[in-house]
Chains A and B, each alone.
Chain A
Amino acid sequence: MTACYDLFLDRTRPGTWPAVFSEKFGRITAVDREQDGPAMWWQAVAEAKLRRRHLVALSASLAPDQALLAGLIAAFAIDPMFGTAQPRFAKAGTGWIWPLPSDAGPVALVPRTGLEMLAPLTITAEMLAACIVIRREVVAAMDPLDGFCSLGGAILSALCIARRRGFRNAVVNRTVLETDQPGTVLYPALAAKDAALLTLRYPDHALAARANAALEEAELELLLAAAYPEPGVPRRLLMDCRGLDPIHNGTSRYLLGMLDGFAQLRPDWEIVLQVAPEAAAFHQLATRCPSFPQVNGDITRHYAAAVLLHQPWSLETVAELHRHGFLILFSMLDTIGWDILYPTPPTVEPAWRFAARHADVLAYISAFSQDRFRQRFPVSAGVKEGVVRLSLLPQEYRHGEQADLTEGEHVLIMGNDYDHKALGPTAALLCAAFPFQAFVSLGGSGPPAVNLRVVPGGAMPDAELQALVASARAVVFPSFIEGFGLPVVEGLSYGRPVLVRQSPLWREIAAHARFEAPLIAYEDEIELIEQLDAVLAGRAASGLAFGGSLSLGESAAGWRDAAAGLLGLLEARLQARDIEHWRSRSGALRIWRGRA
């Protein structure tokens, strides 16, 4: 190969310089510690300019071979405005790549497998590195700049000017230079005095620095490091449990059930719980799932996947999970918040629309919820979808002491004060239709009636709530729309007849479950009171058919299956080794941030 470049060797740093270079490749200018680095640099520039050569600036005892330098120079042929090119640096003897400098968080080495998923080139603004090839056209236009006390200052100021003239830096990702040098040497920081001088002369250099620090590829590299770790290193999964409050409610039952499922599953993932300490203590998470580390506050590390076990309520949440998880998974519980509108912040609409287009995985807790979501938010082809139902195993809902309770006197009506739950009107209806029957309204308010006891759900200890369910003569769940209907499953699990308003959801639940108590769907209030009358009188009530979607002898799925279902979706997604979806999401979030 005919040499087409000169070499500038920075020997001011400690280390042994390999004797691999000779003049036959081009003129070599070396600067030692006692020499004036900037002066020597401009001298090398002048020589290269004279000889119309590219100029290779090397430091830190690096030993790139001809082929590597040729690979970098080849980048210039791709784009005439690539003014500089630099390789990736690998830790000698390993497959680990030093990540590009960024403000994306703690430095983590990137596996070469991850690097291979990146684009061949990453285009940046001026960026100091231990190995840079400067295009000869750029060299030709360089004029000495005085005032910089360090070699780095002299080089970076020249690159800054080149960028101002339209020349960008190309990081050649497939060209890897192995070295023992640390990241601080490979991507050196500019001396403070020179940095100040450079910014003073060219304030736009701050823009360049910011652009480099926020480099999308840099973010991606850290995430790839988490997503595709070296063999033997477990993937990390962030379970965002910040929605877990220190109370017993439907959300807590769902989240705890899923955590139980993951704990039973013992996956070869490292599961980290992002959870408020109060909630963790209240629900005894340390005892419940001792192998899952707990973190709180800002998310700092990078994960193969960030999982939110409910819908995102704002794009901020999406963006945060995107920054820290290569994959992001949302568990879509239902579309009720969007449908009913009145209690829902306006941030939900863009967040769900975004999730439908850019999430890696959307897991729905029922096919019914999936259908509702897809009707409202077109899901892009790049999103992996799956129905992961919650546990339908009775034994996973029955609490020990309450399981043996005998039938009491009351009929339990469950819900809350949202209109779609229809709790208050149903309580009023039933109290009037059955004036001699005792009712308990759980979860909201109720009309004044002598045969009604109103119990606000969140305020009651869990054992008492369970006892109310377990001892009910029947459970009425009058909600117009649900994503899954945990109270229904709880009631059935305790062997109590459950009456629900007709919905395709209940046929789905029944088809995937086997319960002994009947699940009775009613169409209107007349059918409700007729069915309840039949239940209370001990007459056979016509319930939905159970187990239609289960094969003979197959039991219903439990929490462990639900956890496995979620992990399965994530692992299938990882196997696709697709970063274009991530890029698309990242780009969209960058646009959103820019607008915000």
Chain B
Amino acid sequence: MDRLAEQANEIALLRDRAARLEGALQAVLTSSSWWLTRPMRGVARALQTPLQLWRRPPAHPAAPSEPAKPAEPVRNITFESIGPEDAGRTALPPDGQHKAVWVGVDLPYPVRDGGGYRVHRLLNRLAARGWDVLVLIFPHAGQVPPPSRMREAAAVYPGLLVLDPEGRLHGRSPIDVALRGLPAKHTDLAPEVLARVQDAFAPEAIFVESVLAARILPALRPGTAAVVDLGAAPLGDEEALPEADLLITLAPAVAKMPHRLTVVVGADLPPACARPGGSAERHQLLLVGSAHPDDVAGVRHFLRFAWPIIRRAAPAAELAIVGGVGATIGQVGAGGRLLAGPPDPAYAEAGIVLSPAVTPGFRLEVAKALRHGRPVVCWPGALAGLPGELHPLCHVATNWVMFARHALRLLEAADGGGEAVRETAERAFAPECVYAELDAALARPPFIR
């Protein structure tokens, strides 16, 4: 009965929250500035090429994915099939009611870090809400995914195209025939490919990572809604995003920007992520990091600055490092060990989970730790994309000494959170909560015509 009562409360809570979000969204959509600027955004999109002639260059330095310099020769696109899909995966359902293209610089799947996980879950959510999503990847030079990884991704995404910087289009999509032998007209192939994709696929919405926005948004066909994913980045020069209909962000502060429809989108955590069982070893610290340079730097700094402080004060403390970071860390030193294999089983045994990366972004280890009811020590940036009700459950440090002190305090604490934390996290990471704002926004024009 108690459980039923809890669920009822939870549903009421979610409904209340959804209603509040709906209200907030309506307020934005009905605001005069939003609607007044809507036609201007459309005009700007129609006049994209002329406008670009007098638009001053973005204030930010050119990203590595900026268009190739004019001096480079015009290239032709060749098509290479990714190959047969890897059976056994749970693919996104094709043939949805609506069509969208996700444009990014890296494959979200197989998941390598929190950022990729968040995008992957977002694509899952879109699919679940009836969107047929084509994944279009423009990797930076030197970061082209290996064929094996592309094959794994293709097993999950029914529509996948990867354009490498050499002009080879790797693909498995319903429209790949339309792209084969595509003659290139521009030195920057990405807008060219996107134009053809729009012709052949006719998406209603384009989701694009902010780093590609300046290249991609001008290539949108009139009538195609644009969603820019800012991730955890602060909103910079607004001129870089003139045509976006919707911004999605991890940072609540960005969502409060006026005159801009912005929603916070973190990542949900399926129930399977929490593995019950296992007894937590209070003295065991679990440091989880991917092979991402920010994680690697964070782990190295933890080992250099915080771990000696912890070890000196708590000699019995043990450190387990798990995740892709292990391959680059090498020696851990006394009291520490590298765990091979996927990190998930380790959460159940850990007393405290440590999130080492300082830079802001969705931290999967933080989410999973909370989902397991484990206390977390992390940096302020790890709160990005985390539901607000979970913030008080995170022990946030602003330097490595504080990081160590948080860990020490948790080592000494009788109760690090446990079941209460786990239940709060379970509610907060439910898709209905995480994507409530996004779902509401996508249920409105211009996304639904």
Contact = CB atoms under 8 A, between A and B. Distances in A.
B401 A436 contact: no
A532 B399 CA distance: 10
Interface residues of A, number: 12
Contact of B380 (A434, A436, A529): A436
Contact of A433 (B297, B379, B399): B399
A80 interface: no
B309 interface: yes
**Interface core residue of B301, B304, B380, B399 (most chain A CB under 10 Å):** B399
Contacts of A532: 401
A324 to B, nearest CB: 56
Contacts of B297: 432
A533 B400 CA distance: 9
A435 interface: yes
A437 B308 contact: no
A530 interface: yes
A530 B380 contact: no
Contact of B399 (A525, A526, A529): A529
B401 A529 contact: yes
B399 A437 contact: yes
Contacts of A436: 380, 398-399
Contacts of B358: 435
Interface string A416-436: 000000000000000011111
A526 B311 CA distance: 12
Interface in A422-477: 432-437
Contact of A432 (B305, B312, B380): B305
Given A433-B399, A433-B400, A437-B399, A530 B309 contact: yes
Nearest to A435: B358
Contacts of A433: 301, 305, 399-401
A533 B304 CA distance: 16
B399 A435 contact: yes
A529 to B, nearest CB: 5
A526 B402 contact: no
Interface residues of B, number: 15
Contacts of B380: 436
Contacts of B312: 526
Interface of A is mostly: helix
Contact of A533 (B301, B308, B401): B401
B301 A432 contact: yes
Interface in A386-433: 432-433
**Interface core residue of B305, B308, B380 (most chain A CB under 10 Å):** B305
A526 B309 contact: yes
Nearest to A524: B308
Contacts of B305: 432-433, 525-526, 529
**Interface core residue of B297, B358, B400 (most chain A CB under 10 Å):** B400
A526 B308 contact: yes
A435 B309 CA distance: 18
A530 B405 CA distance: 10
A541 to B, nearest CB: 12
Nearest to A436: B398
B300 to A, nearest CB: 9
A530 B398 contact: no
B427 to A, nearest CB: 31
Contacts of B402: 533
Interface string B286-303: 000000000001000100
A425 B304 CA distance: 14
A334 to B, nearest CB: 31
A435 B402 CA distance: 12
B37 to A, nearest CB: 33
A434 B400 CA distance: 7
B389 to A, nearest CB: 24
Interface string B351-390: 0000000100000000000000000000110000000000
A426 to B, nearest CB: 13
A478 to B, nearest CB: 16
Interface in B227-247: none
B232 to A, nearest CB: 15
B399 A530 contact: no
B301 A530 contact: no
A473 to B, nearest CB: 13
B378 to A, nearest CB: 13
A434 B309 CA distance: 15
Closest 10 CB pairs of A and B: A533-B401, A434-B399, A436-B398, A433-B400, A435-B358, A433-B305, A526-B308, A432-B301, A529-B401, A530-B401
28 contacts: A432-B301, A432-B304, A432-B305, A432-B400, A433-B305, A433-B399, A433-B400, A433-B401, A434-B398, A434-B399, A434-B400, A435-B358, A435-B398, A435-B399, A436-B380, A436-B398, A437-B398, A437-B399, A525-B304, A525-B305, A526-B308, A529-B305, A529-B399, A529-B400, A530-B309, A533-B399, A533-B401, A533-B402
Given A529-B401, A530-B401, 12 more contacts: A432-B301, A433-B401, A435-B398, A435-B399, A436-B398, A526-B305, A526-B308, A526-B309, A529-B399, A530-B309, A533-B399, A533-B402
